[in-house]
Amino acid sequence: MSVRPSRLVPPLLAFAGCGFPGSVEFDGVSVQAENGVVSVDGVALPHSRWVPLDVPADVGALKLGCATRELQVATAGPGEPARLEVQLFSQVEGEGVVALEAGKFVAQPTAAGRVLANGVRGTIPAGVRLHAYAGTGRVSVGAAHGLGGLEADNGTGDVDVAGGPLGDVRIRNGTGSSRLDGATAGSVVVKSGTGAVAVTGSSCVVLEAESGSGSVTLTGLACERLDLKLGTGDVRLDDCTAARSHIQSGTGDVTQAGQTDLGQAEFDLGTGQVRREPAP
């Protein structure tokens, strides 16, 4: 184990703003939610309904997104069809349809008025490569039956992922928390601006986590290589194992607890300290 001073303070992730106060830039439009009413580019969409979608069982990849509402999906079980719904907001009641284009569901008007797909729920085919993204809403992915890969992006909402195998995982978050629970994966990369990062009861080949001011908490993690880069947040590791580890922090402390064994470990610390809690 080696400890040396760190000069790195990871930059905060930047998320694009837009021209309307309190709104979020989403798929090229400005979306605002105020007093329960969703608006697009300043046009109110007072009507909404859930639209069921047909998801081909052999679809290789899906790209699902929502601006201000929640995205909550899980993998369908063996022999079960995927059952997915999109919340469609419209300027005119009953207006609009949702179509699948190159693996992405797109809201399309059928006559006059604006429409927006903003909210996703249901099940997706197991083994699909999933890209889930949101502006301010929570992203929740249950992958008990496996994914072929996962990419998740969020501006201010949380990202929660459970189960797997997941393939390779990429999570990018601004201010919300990022959580991975009970998963198996190849390479896992998590980048956060100010949100906390937590991984529990999971295994992967490589875990790379970076946060500007959020903390990183790892519990029951097993990996071959661990690479953590933090600005001001603390690191806590409980019952974690890795063959090689590199932990870099500006001002935060690193605490090892339980049966944690970081193998060939290197610590690059600014003002923080490495602490060891004895196993119970």
> To the nearest whole percent, how much of the chain has pLDDT over 70?
92
Model-wide pTM > 0.85: yes
pLDDT tens, position by position, 12-22:
333 344 444 46
- Among candidates 252, 153, 245, 149, which has minimal Cα distance to 206? 245
pLDDT tens, position by position, 132-181:
999 999 999 999 999 999 999 999 999 999 998 999 999 999 999 999 99
Question: Is 33 contained in some domain?
Answer: yes
CATH number at residue 227: 2.160.20.120
Provide the pairing of β-strand 159-162 with 264-269: unpaired
Q: Residue 32 has which token pair?
A: 């605002």
Q: Residue 12 has which token pair?
A: 């905060």
Whether the Cβ atoms of residue 233 and residue 253 lie closer than 8 Å to each other: no
Query: 271: phi > 0 → left, psi -120 to 50 → alpha, else beta; which?
Result: alpha
Question: Is 268 contained in some domain?
Answer: yes
Tell me phi and psi for residue 14, to 5 degrees.
Answer: -100, 135
Residues in Cβ contact with 49 at an 8 Å cutoff, skipping those fewer than 6 apart = 87, 88, 90, 94
Residue whose pair of structure tokens reads 């994914």 in the numeric block? 147
Question: Structurally, how many domains does the chain consist of?
Answer: 1
Question: Is 280 contained in some domain?
Answer: no
Average pLDDT, the chain: 90
Please give the residue range of the domain that contains residue 72.
Answer: 2-275
Whether the Cβ atoms of residue 254 and residue 275 lie closer than 8 Å to each other: yes
